């Protein structure tokens, strides 16, 4: 005899979907049959009435997935669970054509209305993993540059550079080719490709090319979106990139949008597919103090500022976006071929190019603002991971590439730290603790600041982590905030000043 409890779960899920306007009332029987098919149920109690009050959609989702595991329809492994979850939540996800139709209909009312509705759908259908994201740990650090944001990412494991390189080399012949390809939309998933049955992409034309607009399933900040090329082509940052970024903030004036640099080490996590990241979030770098202003020769309409920030940032601003684009292109092209051996900056060595830029665009009322961040990925025997990469003494906290998000002042730290920092805390309190080998020197340094109180120990450790993250992004800066570093910066900038 069929277990009636699962009938109730199915009834409640569909009723909640109808109440939330995610399932049309005319689709009620279709929705029930869809779930019965997924769960391989042949008998259903049609007399079931909805529970009062209706349970949360995600609670019902959990119960259906639990049923699937219990009945051995799937095994209790993350990949199979995520495939089943996505297939169930596909039921409350409109077809891509309908999502696009609604998005642009709402856009006619207001750009923010369109993104609000799309973001809400992406949360409601569990494409954005809101419950996993809620596990992340957040704190801030008051640095000499302003407040920095720190996140210990517990929702999605960070990949090492070696893993990313291995993934890049193994892409040939796979489908979808990579995690950003449009072929992921509606893809069932497998062990090495994420479940995307409930994934939707809004089509976004940019200067005659087809691009896609989607949200990140593991949002690192508010409305963390990704804009990706329809074609699987490698990241390249050029004049077209600058034009695209300024066009996107014209289309979505309430969002910032940025591009990682296009070279390894300084280029963030995915360089194999052309994409940008954006969202509705004010990052620490936006509030950075202005060190001085520049007058750029040939660009009288553009205000230019040098920021007091760990990385080397030139901020451009004008109501004339074409002038902003032209000024940014001039800086980028000059930087790409610029060398200053006094401060370890070489544009090229052994046939490899080293200079690149990270770009961040936003609107400030009617003005266009574009931050050009100078990067260099050169390695040496002393610094095999990169001269302008986190140095060995801070890699116990952060050794991954410093991409767009960290440049802006938000640390995405690896999940291992949640347990490891607790061990360090126990050690400092004199308890039995197994401190990871790479933390021991740091733990000994901290111990010299004791004694410590249990009530405040984690606050102290978070402060120490903030100090390390500050060093991480200072290491990534090509021109340090020292007299020597700023003099070298001035040598580069003198090319553009009148």
Quick: pLDDT tens for 453-493: 999 999 999 999 999 999 999 999 999 999 999 999 999 99
- pLDDT on residue 174: 82
pLDDT digits (tens, 9 = 90+) for 187-224: 999 988 999 999 999 999 999 999 999 999 999 999 99
| SS3 label, residue 8 | helix
- Class of domain 131-410+480-493 (CATH, top level): alpha beta
CB 274 within 8 A of CB 231: yes
pLDDT exceeds 50 at position 430: yes
Neighbours of 286 (CB within 10 A): 18
Measure the N-to-C terminal CA separation of the chain; round to a whole number of Å: 85
268 or 132, higher pLDDT:
132
CB 16 within 8 A of CB 7: no
188 or 156, higher pLDDT:
188
Mean pLDDT over all residues of the chain?
94
pLDDT digits (tens, 9 = 90+) for 101-121: 999 999 999 999 999 999 999
pLDDT exceeds 50 at position 171: no
- pLDDT on residue 172: 44
- The share of the chain scoring above pLDDT 70, in percent, equals 95
pLDDT exceeds 80 at position 269: no
- pLDDT on residue 120: 98
> Residue 160's beta-bridge partner residues?
none
Which candidate, 34, 9, 6, 8, places its Cα nearest to that of 92? 34
- pLDDT on residue 325: 98
**Looking up tokens 């690192």, which residue turns up?**
220
CB 377 within 8 A of CB 356: yes
Angle at 277 (CA atoms; ends 271, 279), nearest 5 degrees:
170
CATH 3.30.428 positions along the chain are 131-410+480-493
**Looking up tokens 């891509």, which residue turns up?**
96
Q: Which of 2-6, 38-42, 61-65, 380-384 has the lowest mean pLDDT?
A: 2-6
- The share of the chain scoring above pLDDT 90, in percent, equals 91
> Residue 152's beta-bridge partner residues?
137, 413
pLDDT digits (tens, 9 = 90+) for 47-78: 889 999 999 999 999 999 999 999 999 999 99
Q: Which of 92-106, 167-181, 311-325, 463-477 has the lowest mean pLDDT?
A: 167-181
Kindly report the pTM of this predicted structure: 0.93
Sign of CA dihedral 213, 137, 410, 112: positive
DSSP for 196-247, please give it.
-TT---EEEEETTEEEEEEE-TT-SSTT-EEEEESS------SHHHHHHHHH
- pLDDT on residue 165: 53
pLDDT digits (tens, 9 = 90+) for 336-362: 999 999 999 999 998 899 999 999 999
Label residue 16 exposed, middle or buried (CB < 10 Å: 0-12, 13-18, 19+). Answer: buried
CB 422 within 8 A of CB 491: no
Overall residue count recorded for the chain in this entry: 498
Q: How far apart are CA 384 and CA 391, in angstroms?
A: 10
- pLDDT on residue 450: 85
pLDDT exceeds 70 at position 400: yes
């Amino acid at each position: 005899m069929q277990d009636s409890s699962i009938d109730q779960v199915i009834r409640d899920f569909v009723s909640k979907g109808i109440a939330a306007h995610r399932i049309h009332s005319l689709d009620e029987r279709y929705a029930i049959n869809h779930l019965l098919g997924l769960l391989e149920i042949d008998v259903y109690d049609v007399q079931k009435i909805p529970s009062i009050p209706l349970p949360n959609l995600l609670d019902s989702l959990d119960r259906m997935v639990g049923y699937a595991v219990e009945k051995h329809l799937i095994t209790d492994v993350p990949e199979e669970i995520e495939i089943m979850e996505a297939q169930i939540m596909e039921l409350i996800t409109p077809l891509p054509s309908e999502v696009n139709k609604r998005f642009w209909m709402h856009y006619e009312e207001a750009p923010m209305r369109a993104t609000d509705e799309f973001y809400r759908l992406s949360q409601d259908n569990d494409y954005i993993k809101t419950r996993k994201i809620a596990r992340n740990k957040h704190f801030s650090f008051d640095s000499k540059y302003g407040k920095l944001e720190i996140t210990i990412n517990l929702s999605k494991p960070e990949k090492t550079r070696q893993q990313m390189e291995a993934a890049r080399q193994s892409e040939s012949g796979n489908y979808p080719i990579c995690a950003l390809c449009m072929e992921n939309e509606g893809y069932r998933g497998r062990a090495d490709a994420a479940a995307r049955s409930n994934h939707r992409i809004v089509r976004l034309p940019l200067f005659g090319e087809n691009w896609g607009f989607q949200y990140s399933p593991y949002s690192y900040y508010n409305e963390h979106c990704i804009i990706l090329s329809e074609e699987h082509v490698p990241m390249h940052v050029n004049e077209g990139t600058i034009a695209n970024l300024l066009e996107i903030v014209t289309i979505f004036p309430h969002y910032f949008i940025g591009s990682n640099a296009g070279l390894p080490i300084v280029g963030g996590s995915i360089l194999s597919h052309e994409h940008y990241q954006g969202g509705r979030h004010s990052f620490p770098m936006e509030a950075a103090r202005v060190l001085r202003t520049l007058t750029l020769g040939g660009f009288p309409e553009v205000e230019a500022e040098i920021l007091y920030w760990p990385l080397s940032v030139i901020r451009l601003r004008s109501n004339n976006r074409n002038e902003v684009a032209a000024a940014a292109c001039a800086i980028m092209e000059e930087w790409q071929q610029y060398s200053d051996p006094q401060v370890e900056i070489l544009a090229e060595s052994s046939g490899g190019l080293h200079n690149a830029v990270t770009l961040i665009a936003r609107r400030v009322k009617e003005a266009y603002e574009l931050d050009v961040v100078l990067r260099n990925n050169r390695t040496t025997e002393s610094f095999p991971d990169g001269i302008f990469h986190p140095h060995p003494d801070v890699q116990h906290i952060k050794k991954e590439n410093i991409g767009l998000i960290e440049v802006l002042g938000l640390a995405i730290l690896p999940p291992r730290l949640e347990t490891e920092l607790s061990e360090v805390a126990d050690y400092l309190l004199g308890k039995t603790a197994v401190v990871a080998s790479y933390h021991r020197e740091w733990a000994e340094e901290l111990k010299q600041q004791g004694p410590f109180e249990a009530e405040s120990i984690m606050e102290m450790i978070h402060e120490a982590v903030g100090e390390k993250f500050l060093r991480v992004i200072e290491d990534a800066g090509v021109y340090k905030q020292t007299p020597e570093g700023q003099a070298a910066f001035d040598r580069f900038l003198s090319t553009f000043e009148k």
